[in-house]
């Protein structure tokens, strides 16, 4: 009777299930933590970028109406919004990298 095969058949699935469960739990925790940090950072930066965009719009409102409508027709406001949002996303990703490393791994340097 092959005893190692019986022990291996009993231990191997249990060990594999434990490793898979630990790996999946770790990945889920990392994903949720990263998404939380990203959402908080992006919301804060998007608020600041919307204030900058509104400042530009208010500054252009003092210009004659034709110039404002020409800038609007050329898509200046949409272009500025896309550029500011891209910078906001880039800053949020940098925040995720730095904050995640400090929260999870205890590293202070980036």
Q: Burial letters for 68-78: b for 16+ Cβ neighbours within 10 Å, e otherwise?
A: beebeeeeeee
Taken in order 96, 98, 102, 107, the sign of the CA dihedral is positive
Give 96's pLDDT tier (boundaries 50, 70, 90). confident
Tell how far CA 82 is from the center of its chain.
17
Q: What is the pTM of this model?
A: 0.48
Q: Decide: 57 and 77 in contact? Cβ < 8 Å.
A: yes
Domain chopping of the chain, boundaries = 30-105
Q: What percent of the chain has pLDDT over 90?
A: 0
């Amino acid at each position: 009777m092959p005893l190692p095969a019986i022990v291996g058949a009993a231990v191997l699935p249990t060990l594999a299930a434990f490793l898979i469960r630990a790996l999946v739990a770790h990945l889920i925790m990392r994903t949720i933590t990263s998404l939380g940090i990203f959402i908080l950072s992006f919301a804060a930066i998007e608020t600041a970028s919307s204030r900058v965009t509104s400042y530009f719009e208010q500054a252009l409102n003092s210009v004659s109406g034709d110039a404002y409508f020409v800038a609007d027709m050329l898509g200046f406001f949409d272009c500025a919004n896309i550029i500011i949002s891209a910078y906001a996303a880039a800053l949020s990703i940098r925040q995720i990298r730095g904050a995640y490393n400090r929260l999870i791994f205890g590293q202070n340097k980036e």
